[in-house]
């Protein structure tokens, strides 16, 4: 009984779910999370025109309405005014595509890592369901991050568990779809202990993709990834230049 409680009693975890027009799936997601002992659930309604927010509230989630559009904006809004007992933040999507039944595998790694990511590319279902845009984005980001930061990821998926204290440390700035890339790059820069776990992935059960599935979405995804990584790399270089100059001056003396 104590072992079961240790696995499923997760009062120190806050779940953040950004949604926009996902009323078909959000109630089932909340119910499943609650069945895993996750009772602190924040749904960020990012401009829904359906009943996503109302249904989420009725299902027992805390609902915050964020009118400014943007995935990162919604995630950032969900991180405001956290209560002291929260030690971990779990991010997941509200469209029903994440396999939440695999979350106990995340709990098992909490003592070993700071950032635990779901790797959809490591499972057959994940690779099959992911769109060409998502595969392209993963390959591009992995290559560029490996080239610039020396650490290659496999996926930029939404399902992720991160320690609250290190999330405060990395100071997230992006307010759009560059949120996931920024988090993963800054995790490397802050030398966090990172783990990618294989996770299944399903066709979305509600809502419409905000970025993938169209030519314009593909172009937008590529631009977002490239611009986000470019900003982070320039920032990294600007921080290194003063340190290099300081070392050069010290060597003179």
Instruction: Please indicate whether residue 215 or residue 42 has the higher confidence score (pLDDT).
Output: 42
- Residue-level pLDDT at 10: 87
Q: What is the pLDDT of residues 23-80, one digit of tens each?
A: 999 999 999 999 999 999 999 999 999 999 999 999 999 999 999 999 999 999 999 9
For the range 141-150, what are the long-range contacts, defined as Cβ-Cβ under 8 Å and sequence gap of 24 or more? 141/181, 141/184, 141/225, 141/229, 144/225, 144/226, 144/229, 145/184, 145/185, 145/188, 145/229, 148/229, 148/233, 148/236, 149/185, 149/188, 149/189, 149/236, 150/188
- Residue-level pLDDT at 131: 87
Cα 178 to Cα 174: distance, rounded to the nearest angstrom: 6
Strands 160-163 and 88-91, how do they pair? antiparallel
Q: Which residues of 139-160 are buried (b: 16+ CB within 10 A; e: fewer)?
A: ebbbebbeebbeeebbbbbbbb
Residues, the chain: 253
| Of 249, 89, 102, residue with least CA distance to 163 | 89
Q: What percent of the chain is modeled with pLDDT above 70?
A: 87
List, as one string, the DSSP characters of 163-216: EHHHHHHHT----STTHHHHHHHHHHHTT--EEEEE--B---SSS--SSSSSHH
- Judge whether residue 247 has pLDDT over 60: no
- Residue-level pLDDT at 137: 84
The DSSP bridge partners found for residue 163 are 88
- Judge whether residue 163 has pLDDT over 70: yes
- Judge whether residue 121 has pLDDT over 60: yes
- Residues with Cβ within 8 Å of 50's Cβ and at least 6 positions away in sequence, in order, are 21, 22, 23
Cα 47 to Cα 58: distance, rounded to the nearest angstrom: 18
- Judge whether residue 5 has pLDDT over 70: no
| Of 3, 13, 2, 5, residue with least CA distance to 110 | 13
- Judge whether residue 200 has pLDDT over 70: yes
- Residue-level pLDDT at 251: 53
Instruction: Please indicate whether residue 209 or residue 152 has the higher confidence score (pLDDT).
Output: 152
The band of 204, judged by pLDDT with boundaries at 50, 70 and 90, is: confident
Q: What are phi and psi of 41, to 5 degrees?
A: -125, 125
Average pLDDT across the chain, whole number: 89
Calculate mean pLDDT across residues 195-216: 78
């Amino acid at each position: 009984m104590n072992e079961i409680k240790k696995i499923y009693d997760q009062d120190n975890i806050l779940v953040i779910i950004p949604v926009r027009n996902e009323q078909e799936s959000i109630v089932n997601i909340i119910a499943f999370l609650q069945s895993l002992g996750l009772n602190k659930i924040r749904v960020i309604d990012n401009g829904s025109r359906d009943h996503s927010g109302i249904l989420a509230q009725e299902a027992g989630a805390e609902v915050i309405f964020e009118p400014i559009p943007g995935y990162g904006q919604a995630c950032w809004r969900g991180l405001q005014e956290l209560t002291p007992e929260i030690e971990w933040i779990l991010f997941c999507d509200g469209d029903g595509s994440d396999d939440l039944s695999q979350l106990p595998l995340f709990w098992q790694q909490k003592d070993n890592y700071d950032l635990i990511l779901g790797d959809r590319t490591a499972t057959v279902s994940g690779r099959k369901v992911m769109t060409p845009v998502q595969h392209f984005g993963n390959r591009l980001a992995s290559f560029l991050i490996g080239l610039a930061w020396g650490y290659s990821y496999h996926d930029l998926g939404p399902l992720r568990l991160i320690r609250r204290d290190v999330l405060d440390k990395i100071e997230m700035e992006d307010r759009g779809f560059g949120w996931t890339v920024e988090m993963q790059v800054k995790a490397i820069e802050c030398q966090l202990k990172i783990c990618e776990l294989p996770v299944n992935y399903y066709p979305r059960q509600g809502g419409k993709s905000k970025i993938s599935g169209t030519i314009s979405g593909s172009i937008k995804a590529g631009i977002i990834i490239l611009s986000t990584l470019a900003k982070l790399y320039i920032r990294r270089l600007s921080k290194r230049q003063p340190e290099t100059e300081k070392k050069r001056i010290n060597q003179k003396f």
